[in-house]
């Protein structure tokens, strides 16, 4: 797509749609891994203090369904080197190993085990800020910052051994 194209957003939309099957299995020549499943080594969630204070770590995360996104809108601001994309995902399924420590109100909560999550009806907004770089007499857009904001329509999460086997809790 050329930045002078008056229909630049449509061109990029069409390019993304044609890339969808390749994204699912990966593009090794560009160091783009497969996103089916999308593998994430680790995520740490630390909810500080107060009535709910929980720290959880998720490892070996596998995400199924990210290539099924629907591209809803693209806005490109070439002058400010910004791109904003709105997506909708019908469903994501996650599996991981987790550890959790903390408390909810006065009840201690801890556990280690397998976690599974199902998330549906996800609206996501992706914002990218980049810079133009010259390479071999060509100008490229290099992404510097990448932010994702999302709203989940419905979520179910299962945490095996949440209370380390204590059936009463």
Query: Which DSSP string do the residues of the chain spell out, in sequence order?
Result: --TT-TTHHHHHHHHHHHHHHHHHH-BGGGTB---TTEEEEEEEEEE-SSSEEEEEEEEEEEEE-GGG-EEEEEEEETTTTEEEEEEEEEEEEEEEEEEEEEEETTEEEEEEEEEEEEEEEEEEEEEEEEEEEEETTEEEEEEEEEEEEEEEEEEEEEETTTTTT-S--
- Domain with 41, as residue range(s), is 7-165
Q: What is the domain-level CATH number for residue 27?
A: 3.15.10.30
Residue 15 located in a structural domain: yes
Q: Binning pLDDT at 50, 70 and 90, where does residue 164 land?
A: confident
pLDDT(140) > 80: yes
Residue 1 located in a structural domain: no
Residue 2 located in a structural domain: no
Domain tally, the chain? 1
Beta bridge partner(s), residue 58: 43, 98
pLDDT averaged over every residue in the chain: 91
Q: Binning pLDDT at 50, 70 and 90, where does residue 167 land?
A: confident
pTM for this model (two decimals): 0.81
């Amino acid at each position: 797509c050329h930045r002078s194209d008056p229909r630049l957003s449509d061109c990029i939309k069409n390019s993304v749609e044609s890339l969808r099957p390749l994204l699912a299995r990966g593009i090794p020549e560009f160091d783009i891994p497969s996103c089916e499943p999308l593998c994430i080594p680790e995520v740490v969630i630390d909810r500080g203090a107060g009535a709910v204070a929980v720290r959880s770590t998720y490892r070996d995360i596998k995400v199924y369904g990210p290539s099924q996104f629907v591209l809803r809108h693209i806005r490109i601001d070439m002058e400010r080197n910004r791109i904003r994309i709105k997506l909708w995902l019908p469903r994501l399924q996650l599996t991981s190993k987790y550890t959790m420590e903390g408390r909810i109100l006065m009840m201690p909560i801890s556990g280690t085990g397998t976690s599974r999550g199902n998330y549906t009806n996800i609206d996501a907004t992706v914002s990218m800020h980049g810079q133009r770089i010259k390479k071999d007499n060509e100008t490229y857009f290099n992404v510097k910052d990448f932010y994702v904001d999302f709203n989940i329509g419905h979520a179910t999460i299962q945490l095996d051994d949440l209370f380390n086997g204590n059936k009463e809790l």
